[in-house]
Amino acid sequence: MTEKKKTYIEDIERTLYDIKDEDRSVYKAHSGLTEDVVRDISTRKHEPQWMLDFRLKSLDVYNSLELPTWGPSLDELHMDDIVTYVQPDAKMTGSWEEVPEDIKDTFDRLGIPEAEKTSLGGVGAQYDSEVVYHSIQEDMVKQGVIYTDMETAVREHEDIVKEYFMTLVPPKDHKFAALHGAVWSGGSFVYVPAGVHVEMPLQSYFRLNAAGAGQFEHTLIIVEPGASLHFIEGCSAPKHNVTNLHAGCVELFVKDGARLRYSTIENWSRNMMNLNTKRALVEKDGIIEWVSGSFGSHISCLYPCSVLHGENARCEFTGVTFASKGQNLDTGASVIHAAPHTSANINTRTISKAGGMATYRSAVKVTKNAPFAKCSVNCESLMLDNLSRSDTLPVMDIEGDEADIGHEAKIGRISDEAIFYLTSRGIDEEEARAMIVRGFVEPIAKELPLEYALEMNNLVNIELEGTIG
User: What DSSP letter does each residue of 122-187 carry, written as one string?
Assistant: EEEEEETTEEEEEEE-HHHHHTT-EEEEHHHHHHHSHHHHHHHTTTSS-GGG-HHHHHHHHH----
Q: Is the dihedral of CA 450, 456, 462, 466 positive or negative?
A: negative
In the complex with other proteins, the residue whose CB is nearer, 6 or 410, is 410
Assess contact for 213 and 181: CB atoms under 8 A: no
For residue 355, state whether it binds other proteins (rule: CB under 8 A): no
Kindly write out the interface string for residues 149-178 of this chain, putting x where it contacts other proteins by CB under 8 A and - elsewhere: ------------------------------
In the complex with other proteins, the residue whose CB is nearer, 81 or 404, is 404
In the complex with other proteins, the residue whose CB is nearer, 49 or 424, is 424
Distances (CA, A) of 301 to 78, 245, 248, 360, 410: 17, 12, 11, 10, 21
Q: Which of 76, 114, 156, 404 binds other proteins (CB under 8 A)?
A: 404
For residue 412, state whether it binds other proteins (rule: CB under 8 A): yes
For residue 325, state whether it binds other proteins (rule: CB under 8 A): no
For residue 347, state whether it binds other proteins (rule: CB under 8 A): no
Q: Which of 43, 170, 197, 439 binds other proteins (CB under 8 A)?
A: 439
Assess contact for 109 and 16: CB atoms under 8 A: yes
Part in contact with other proteins (CB under 8 A); list of ranges 145-153, 176-184, 283-291, 431-439: 431-439
For residue 118, state whether it binds other proteins (rule: CB under 8 A): no
Distances (CA, A) of 49 to 164, 274, 427: 17, 30, 65
Return the SS3 of 65.
coil
Say how many residues touch other proteins, by CB under 8 A.
Answer: 64
For residue 5, state whether it binds other proteins (rule: CB under 8 A): no
In the complex with other proteins, the residue whose CB is nearer, 293 or 394, is 394
Assess contact for 90 and 99: CB atoms under 8 A: yes
- How far is residue 204's CA from residue 112's CA, in Å, rounded to a whole number? 9
For residue 142, state whether it binds other proteins (rule: CB under 8 A): no
Q: Which of 16, 56, 74, 405 binds other proteins (CB under 8 A)?
A: 405
- How far is residue 252's CA from residue 288's CA, in Å, rounded to a whole number? 9
Residue 247 CB, nearest distance to other proteins (Å)?
18
For residue 402, state whether it binds other proteins (rule: CB under 8 A): yes
For residue 278, state whether it binds other proteins (rule: CB under 8 A): no
In the complex with other proteins, the residue whose CB is nearer, 200 or 409, is 409
For residue 311, state whether it binds other proteins (rule: CB under 8 A): no
What is the CB-side half-sphere exposure of residue 239 using CA atoms within 13 A?
11
How many CB atoms neighbour CB 102 within 10 A? 16
| Residue 36: φ, ψ to 5° | -60, -45
In the complex with other proteins, the residue whose CB is nearer, 37 or 432, is 432
Residue 319 CB, nearest distance to other proteins (Å)?
16
Produce one character per residue of 303-339: b if its CB has 16 or more CB atoms within 10 Å, e if not: bbbbbbbbbbbbbbbbbbbbbbbebbbbbbbbbbbbb
Residue 108 CB, nearest distance to other proteins (Å)?
30
Residue 334 CB, nearest distance to other proteins (Å)?
8
Q: Which of 102, 111, 407, 451 binds other proteins (CB under 8 A)?
A: 407
Q: Which of 8, 399, 454, 458 binds other proteins (CB under 8 A)?
A: 399
Assess contact for 220 and 164: CB atoms under 8 A: yes
For residue 403, state whether it binds other proteins (rule: CB under 8 A): yes
How many CB atoms neighbour CB 64 within 10 A? 10
- Nearest alpha-carbon partner for 175 in 316, 302, 67, 46: 67
- How far is residue 432's CA from residue 419's CA, in Å, rounded to a whole number? 6
Kindly write out the interface string for residues 42-71 of this chain, putting x where it contacts other proteins by CB under 8 A and - elsewhere: ---------------------------xxx
Segment 363-382, which members bind other proteins (CB under 8 A)? 363, 365, 368, 371, 381
How many CB atoms neighbour CB 194 within 10 A? 14
In the complex with other proteins, the residue whose CB is nearer, 311 or 428, is 428
For residue 326, state whether it binds other proteins (rule: CB under 8 A): no
Binding site for other proteins (CB under 8 A): 1, 69-71, 361, 363, 365, 368, 371, 381, 383-386, 388-413, 415-418, 420-429, 431-432, 435-436, 438-443
